[in-house]
Structure 1
Amino acid sequence: MSIETSSDRSFGDVRDYRQAAVSETKDLLAGLKSGSGGLSSEERRHRLADCGLNETTVRQTTAWGILLRQFRSPFVYLLAGAVAVALYAGEYVDAGLIAVFVLINTALSFYQEYRAEQAVRLLRGYWRYDVTVLVDGQPTSVGSERVVPGDVLRLAAGDRIPADVRFMSADSVTVDESMLTGESVHVEKSCRTASVEPQDYFDAGNVGFAGTSLLSGEALAVVFATGRHSSLGLIVGLAGRSASSGVFEREIGSFSRFILKMVGVTLLVIFLLNVVLRGWGNLDQMLLFFIALTIGVVPEALPVVMTVTHTRAALRLAAKKVIVKRLSAVDDLGSVDVLCIDKTGTVTRNELEVSVIMADDPERCVILSLVGSPAAEGCRSVGNSFDRALRSFAGQRVAGEAARYRQVAELPFDPDRRRGSVLVEDPDGGRRLVVRGSPDEVLELCGRVGEPIELGRWLEREGLAGRRVLVVAERAMSSGCETVSVEDETGLEFVGALSFEDPLKDGAAAAIHKAGQMRIQIKMLTGDAREVAGAVAEQLGLVTDPSEVITGHEFDALDAGGQVEAVGRFVVFARVNPEQKFRIISLLQQAGRSVGFLGEGFNDVPALRLADVGIAVENAADVAKDAADIILGDASLSAIVDGAEIGRRNFANVIKYLTVTLAANFGNFYSVAIASLLVPFLPMLPVQILLLNLLTDAPMITVAADAAHPSELRRPNHYDARQVILMATVLGVVSSAFDFLTFGVFHGLGAEPLRTLWFMESALTEILLIFSVRTAGPFYRGPRIPPSVSWIMGVMAVVCLVLPYTGWGHRLFGFVSPHPWQLAAVLAIVAVYFCLTELVKLRFFGRKRAYSGDR
């Protein structure tokens, strides 16, 4: 045994698994300046200082980072500017009201996102583990994050591999690489040097990758890459370049900029016209008036409405064991029209079960299959997926029969031989050799097979169905035989064959059917073989022909135009690696699709970061959960589809708010601004405009709790700024027309009565507009109004009617008490306004057909 120390900090640069796979063990150790006994404790300290901890994370989110993220909104920038201008003008109450909106939004968003981040950190803590490292030639328990290049690890069944390693010795080693490749079946590993460089992770038979786990066997392995230099680190490096802002953030940002430009230009024109008509004599009052107009037209409660809707949705999803890390991801989920999923663990259970047995004596076939398992003796193994399926299928009685066989000697499974053999003593004292393995290998060793043609057809059918097949054979051995060799594996008698499948999860097919009804296209991106992926896709109804599958290799062979066509045509992609997943999602986005991606392995991190909505499961790799926007407590496709429905409900409510507030604000904005050019006094005082804005925002915020019509949930949502603006403009024109009608009826009464009655008309029409716009059809056919919404609307309407008659209204806001006939006239104008608004709305939606089925 040799232990290496070195004062030379350059201890080699063997960091690529392809290079490690074709290197002889002694050459690899020499390149790493290590030895078969590992490193000395002093050398490990030096290397840990040079290389850093063996950790890889996509991003570290601090509380300050989450807090600052809440202020990245054009509306927040505008409101902050309005606060500054109001403070400069001495309007401290106005500044305080605006600041309250900003602070409420910031506090709610920060609390929800910080709590989600804390939950993720708690989950991450469960993944800390220790590994056995040879230090100074002695086995030592070391934290996985402190492993360094050159360390020699002692691995056993159940251990996770903390870094990229090259196996130095391997005894019956099988590894679960599903976190890396998406392949659900165990992979056999050996210590043999590869003759050619592997082309992908699937082909590296003597390399163990960070994050994968040993299912059976024992091994010694040398670490050649840690942290960012490991395969995991390279994938995360790609993820670092692939961060994508959400659909919601992009579209609402574009929408905000459009509103701000339009308001800015209009205000400038009106301001200049006032200066031309009246000069600069009353500039202070005019400045306050235009500040109030600006605040009145901007939907400053939008951040609060969005936060409330997102928080309510996050709480509803939490009840389904879904953690929302980024609040706006709820809306993004509602906009998804392509959902890319893996097969393993998402639509299937990620656990094999026995499907069909082809044998003259099925029970004996199962017994000998169990006898031939290394796990039968309980030694060095937690059992691979085949053995677990066999034990589950056998039941206690058959397992009891298998336990009566005593294992004498074993010839472990070898990836090159693709079979394993066990010498056993049967209950009668006879010695028998039991061989299990690949059909191609084991059948060649059998002297005869009962019905070879029928067996061949059965094997073909099972292969087309995507099932894995295990063949069992035996031969009698001499009574004194104590050892077994490869030469003994001849003249075997065929016992039977068993096929295994990874069954579909309950509800998976129903979830895909519901996704189709919601116009969400499901695409399967998996590391499994073509046959397996195609068979599962056919069972789910994704394809009608299981051969409608393209592999990652075939995809790479296409030119750019062919790849674009392929991502549109195929729904099943098999044997895809991280780079190919990344490319597929990128092409879908370039085609204008909104893409959600469900992943769990660190190979999925780049795709999770690039997708419009990244979704990970709770038991996913740490970096996958870091990269995701949403974390599922249960890897259920149903939870995602239900989440998309909740996201669409959110979208419907935000659109209602935007349409109502912009229509009302545009109407008041243009009416008051134009009226300021027609009368020698301000048609509405700045404090009255701010009060109107405050009172009408309260019921509008309750829209966040409103119900949604089923037709609003049938298709992916997207913020169509032009349609929202067009609808708001059309309804705003109607609102302005009735504002001018009010102006025409009451302008002869003087400044105070006109302001009072105009305030009442504006407030009541805005509240009634909510009833109209909340559904695209007639208001009485819309969904039931939640009691909280009706109650707040009623209270605000009463306040608007009563306040002008109070002393407070007179002293603080400049109102006068209207005469009964004036109040009756206002109510009549409001009633006619509501009827005309309904007609205009029905005409608009009838032409646009924005919500099919709700006309």
Structure 2
Amino acid sequence: MSKLTRTIHQLHQLRRQQKNVQTSELDRLVVYAATHRPGDVFGQLDTGEAGLDPELARDLTGVYGKNVVEEERHEPKFKRVAAAFVSPFTLILAALAAVSVYTNVVMAAPGEADPSTAIIIGIMVLISGALRYTQESKSESAASALKNMVTTTCCVIRGGDAGREIPMEDVVPGDIVKLSAGDMIPADVRIITAKDLFVTQAALTGESEPVEKTAEPVEIEYHGRGTSIAIDDCTNIAFSGTTVQSGSATAVVLCTGKHTYLGKVARALEVKPTRTSFDVGVAAVSRVLVAFMLIMCPIVFVVNGITKGDWLDALLFSISIAVGITPQMLPVIVTTCLARGATNMSRQDVIVKNINAIQNLGAMDVLCTDKTGTLTQDKVILERHMDVHGRDDDRVLRHAYLNSFFQTGLKNLIDVAVIEKMDELAAADPAQAGMSERYTKVDEIPFDFERRLMSVVVADRSGKTQLITKGAVEEVLGICTCVEYDGQVLPLTDNLRDRVLERVRGFNDDGMRVVAVAQKTNPRPVGSFSTADESDMVLIGYLAFLDPPKESAAAAVARLAEYGVGVKVLTGDNEGVAAAVCRKVGIDPSGMLLGSEVDGLTDEELAARAEGCQLFAKLSPLQKQRVVSVLREQGGHTVGFMGDGINDAAAMRASDCGISVDTAVDIAKESADIILLKKDLMVLGRGIMEGRRTYGNTIKYIKTTASSNFGNVFSVLVASAFLPFLPMTALQLLLLGVAYTVSCTAIPWDNVDEEFLREPKTWDAKSIVSFMLWLGPTSSVFDILTYAAMFFIICPMVVGAPFAQLADPAQIALFAAVFQSGWFVESMWTQTFVLHMLRTEHVPLAGSRPAASLTVLTLAGVAVVTALPYVPGLGAALGLSPLPLPFFGLLFACMALYLLLCGAVKALYVRRYGTLL
């Protein structure tokens, strides 16, 4: 067996080990390496401290490929364009356009060609197809953003050389790499040796502070169903895409490219985006409208063909009906509503990348969010500096300041918070200023992971020296023999130790991180200090740190709940801190789920637990994605996810609406649909209201237009069965549709009732059908009354005789023209004024005022249509005839009765279904 074959065989064998470990996310090779010593890992990878043989490394590159995140294999652009424009809805519209071109253009008499119907349909198809293509293409940049993260060089040891820089893409499993401050981790690696190595992996885990990595194997805990290991447990593994904050190390490469954890996240982003509630809803509405058209239009065609005997006219008329009963302006109205919503949201510090997400935002009933920076200020502050009794003590702060100021290692967030607090104190009390000038540094004992302590030795101007130590409470207690208690230095008895720990636990329960401070005066003659000097010290107090909740967080959570949006916190942070923050902002952490528990649940079990759970802590990125997916697919929720790191990108992609902030990492912003200029739930709340307002205006158009058109088709069927002529010509029908839809273009600017905004709204095709069946026939009642009055009263009044007595073709044509003009005008009046009736559950005008633009445009549409029969030349060209004055008395009477009946039916509908729109 060749060395290459043996190495590959061992790598595959290694991945098949650890069968009892639940590790849906981490590669099994990583699990093995984390739980075994470096020598064992070397043996499995067929490498050593001298690194791989360069020739073997080249061969492994040929086997495992370049160390890059795999990109999605995209379909050719022409296929994606074709898929965007091919749907049942667009195919039927295209067929109607083709028939219209043939009958109205190809077969038309010279000079009478009319391509307007085909042009209108073509514009509709182009708009809807373009929107769909844009939506399908938006995910391409996410994977490439991940790929671009790993583009620099790294230092590897091969064949025993001292180390040389090679492109990261050439790294292979078994390589030995050198790491130092500022380096990006080139692959998933096992630490071999480390010196004060701190790695920033907040982008993967959500932990705000750097994490120390060591070479020691980790132990795996058991959780009932087997063994679970997560990223946070891997204290000896550094993951691709994270960076070295400080220190140095050597490490052996375990996984490269698509096998890394980052590669797995990338593959989750490369999949086709899930169909959101907006996509599903629009598709369902389109199917309803298409089905309605396919059922009604053939009936109209057959009835008119049989009763009138002119099958070509019947075909033209049925095509006009098909175009007329379809909400022709649906793509335009939806696009305009969304565009206006995006403009309004930009004024509210909300930038919309994908306009379809606006309605998903309004439909959202569950918001999943990270904790840091959303509920909290994303900043560690020193909340309390206390003696051991819990009383504020500036002396404790001064000692902590000297420790933080003079230490030369990594100044973490805690050190920064201490220094800032001292600066505040000095500004308020000049006597406290100049601490750093009154003392000089003698020596320091740097922090390390084993001790969890950091000490400095300082001397004042009189020459007195002090050893000042701060660190984890239990570790500081371990080096103390005394405690300052009630103004005295007392021996640190077990009783006093227990009292101190009990008080610290109380602060921990409040979400605070506690650091103890101890000191020793004149530790020994100045010289070289070491960890041995950290002994026989005096505990003087402790510091309590907090990433405090934002002032607006509690109010924002309460407001979201008031508007029907439940907030669930999905964080990679510590469960104790997360629970304390949640309690302060009104989120119940009692049913908390940890990442280790999530791995042990099936999707069904997780869905059941997730319903009542408001806090998920210590989650990995793919666990966040799984929780979001389960809430959507198993729970039936419309889910938004708000985050700003690589660890949030997969969950954002899985949600109905991905939300990020302008300070987020690039991959998070690429994956998001909406970007907030302020990371604040209050800002998001305003965006949700705008999303619901956008949906409200869109559904107004769809429901009122669909019900009106249903009533019109029903009226046409009745008229076609009994009238000796068409109730309206194809041209008049199309013109009426255009006039109505133009008057509807102001709907995106309409006002929406406050009550409507209080609950999430989702697209529901069934509600459109019920709305059509309830409200549509009310117009048909008065259409039929208008037919009867026109046929038996108004038309004979104008012509001078009933239709049955007419023999002169000119009189017959005038009779038909007057009838068609009457229904033409009456239809516009009923459609327009019922829009005002049905746009709100309140009494029109008095209880809910429409936008001025909608009022003006609809009244203008009614005025223009009413005036058309009286325009010389134009009226005759359209087949219209002036109407006598008694017609308007009839029209006003019908309108009054119609609006009364419509109001009564509307009230019954709301009582039956709970809502109008």
Considering the TM-score relative to the shorter chain, is it more than 0.5? yes
Contact 1:596 1:612 in 2 (8 A): yes
Contact 2:640 2:658 in 1 (8 A): yes
Counterpart of 2:326 (choices 298, 308, 320) is 298
Q: Which region of structure 1 is more displaced relative to structure 2, 331-340 or 477-486?
A: 477-486
Equivalent residue number for residue 30 of structure 2:
17
Distance 1:292 1:784 in 2: 34
Equivalent residue number for residue 352 of structure 1:
380
Distance 2:35 2:263 in 1: 21
Provide the aligned C-alpha RMSD in A. Answer: 3.7
Equivalent residue number for residue 365 of structure 1:
396
Aligned partner of residue 779 in structure 1, secondary structure: coil
Q: Which amino acid aligns with 2:511?
A: G
Q: Residue 595 in 1 paired to residue 639 in 2?
A: yes
Counterpart of 2:746 (choices 702, 717, 734) is 702
Q: How does 1:216-231 map to 2 (within 5 A)?
A: 216-231=246-261
Residues 319/212 of structure 1: CA separation in 2 closer, same or farther (3 Å cut): farther
Q: How does 1:619-698 map to 2 (within 5 A)?
A: 619-698=663-742
TM-fit CA distance, 1:353: 0.9
Equivalent residue number for residue 567 of structure 1:
610
Counterpart of 2:879 (choices 801, 811, 814) is 814
Aligned partner of residue 375 in structure 2, secondary structure: coil
TM-fit CA distance, 1:58: 7.6
Equivalent residue number for residue 133 of structure 1:
155
Aligned partner of residue 781 in structure 1, secondary structure: coil
Equivalent residue number for residue 199 of structure 1:
229
Q: Residue 54 in 1 paired to residue 97 in 2?
A: no
Q: Which region of structure 1 is more displaced relative to structure 2, 387-396 or 327-336?
A: 387-396
Equivalent residue number for residue 798 of structure 1:
863
Equivalent residue number for residue 459 of structure 1:
504
Residues 325/37 of structure 1: CA separation in 2 closer, same or farther (3 Å cut): farther
Q: Which region of structure 1 is more displaced relative to structure 2, 606-615 or 24-33?
A: 24-33
Distance 1:431 1:30 in 2: 51
Aligned partner of residue 643 in structure 1, secondary structure: helix
TM-fit CA distance, 1:243: 4.0
Equivalent residue number for residue 744 of structure 1:
788
Equivalent residue number for residue 94 of structure 2:
80
Distance 1:765 1:464 in 2: 65
Counterpart of 1:719 (choices 763, 778, 783) is 763
Q: Which region of structure 1 is more displaced relative to structure 2, 390-399 or 703-712?
A: 390-399
Contact 1:617 1:635 in 2 (8 A): yes
Equivalent residue number for residue 832 of structure 2:
767
Aligned partner of residue 433 in structure 1, secondary structure: strand
TM-fit CA distance, 1:33: 6.9
Distance 1:65 1:340 in 2: 35
Contact 1:324 1:631 in 2 (8 A): yes
Contact 1:86 1:95 in 2 (8 A): yes
Aligned partner of residue 102 in structure 1, secondary structure: helix
Q: Residue 184 in 1 paired to residue 228 in 2?
A: no
TM-fit CA distance, 1:106: 5.0
Residues 369/349 of structure 1: CA separation in 2 closer, same or farther (3 Å cut): same
Contact 1:356 1:498 in 2 (8 A): yes
Identity %: 32
Q: Which amino acid aligns with 2:791?
A: H
Equivalent residue number for residue 191 of structure 2:
167
Q: How does 1:254-653 map to 2 (within 5 A)?
A: 254-275=284-305, 277=307, 282-359=310-387, 362-373=393-404, 376-378=406-408, 381=410, 383-395=411-423, 397=426, 400-402=434-436, 405-451=439-485, 452=496, 454-476=499-521, 480-543=525-588, 547-557=590-600, 563-589=606-632, 590-653=634-697
Residues 154/410 of structure 1: CA separation in 2 closer, same or farther (3 Å cut): farther
Q: Which amino acid aligns with 2:907?
A: L
Distance 2:459 2:674 in 1: 54
Contact 1:236 1:605 in 2 (8 A): no
Residues 235/816 of structure 1: CA separation in 2 closer, same or farther (3 Å cut): same
Q: Which amino acid aligns with 1:235?
A: V
Contact 1:163 1:210 in 2 (8 A): yes
Distance 1:224 1:626 in 2: 29
TM-fit CA distance, 1:760: 0.9
Count how many residue pairs are aligned between Structure 1 and Structure 2. Answer: 840
Aligned partner of residue 285 in structure 1, secondary structure: helix
Contact 2:141 2:670 in 1 (8 A): no
Aligned partner of residue 527 in structure 1, secondary structure: coil
TM-fit CA distance, 1:315: 2.2
TM-fit CA distance, 1:225: 2.6
Residues 249/734 of structure 1: CA separation in 2 closer, same or farther (3 Å cut): same
Q: Which runs of 5+ in 2 are unaligned?
A: 15-26, 106-114, 222-227, 427-431, 486-495, 796-814
Residues 672/461 of structure 1: CA separation in 2 closer, same or farther (3 Å cut): same
Counterpart of 2:895 (choices 816, 827, 830) is 830
Aligned partner of residue 676 in structure 1, secondary structure: helix
Q: Which amino acid aligns with 1:441?
A: E
Q: Which amino acid aligns with 2:484?
A: G
Aligned partner of residue 224 in structure 1, secondary structure: strand
Q: Which runs of 5+ in 1 are unaligned?
A: none
Residues 409/209 of structure 1: CA separation in 2 closer, same or farther (3 Å cut): farther
Equivalent residue number for residue 246 of structure 1:
276
Q: Which region of structure 1 is more displaced relative to structure 2, 838-847 or 287-296?
A: 838-847
Superposed CA offset, 1:805-843 (max 9, x none):
224533542212223333443344334433432333233
Contact 1:112 1:327 in 2 (8 A): no
Distance 1:849 1:409 in 2: 75
Residues 275/244 of structure 1: CA separation in 2 closer, same or farther (3 Å cut): same
Superposed CA offset, 1:388-411 (max 9, x none):
222222217468424654445444
Contact 2:830 2:895 in 1 (8 A): yes
Q: Which amino acid aligns with 1:366?
A: L
Superposed CA offset, 1:146-185 (max 9, x none):
7665565554445543532333433323333332222334
TM-fit CA distance, 1:488: 2.6
Q: Which amino acid aligns with 1:183?
A: E
Distance 2:401 2:447 in 1: 14
Superposed CA offset, 1:523-552 (max 9, x none):
112222222121111100112xx5553333
Residues 787/321 of structure 1: CA separation in 2 closer, same or farther (3 Å cut): same
Equivalent residue number for residue 264 of structure 2:
234
Residues 141/207 of structure 1: CA separation in 2 closer, same or farther (3 Å cut): same
Contact 1:321 1:634 in 2 (8 A): yes
Q: Which region of structure 1 is more displaced relative to structure 2, 133-142 or 580-589?
A: 133-142
TM-fit CA distance, 1:371: 3.7
Distance 1:399 1:222 in 2: 49
Aligned partner of residue 506 in structure 1, secondary structure: coil
TM-fit CA distance, 1:608: 2.3
Contact 2:205 2:647 in 1 (8 A): yes
Distance 1:427 1:99 in 2: 87
Superposed CA offset, 1:789-809 (max 9, x none):
223223222220122222453
Distance 2:349 2:59 in 1: 44
TM-fit CA distance, 1:648: 0.8
Q: Which amino acid aligns with 1:417?
A: R
Aligned partner of residue 757 in structure 1, secondary structure: helix
Superposed CA offset, 1:474-520 (max 9, x none):
33455544333333322111132111111112311111111011011
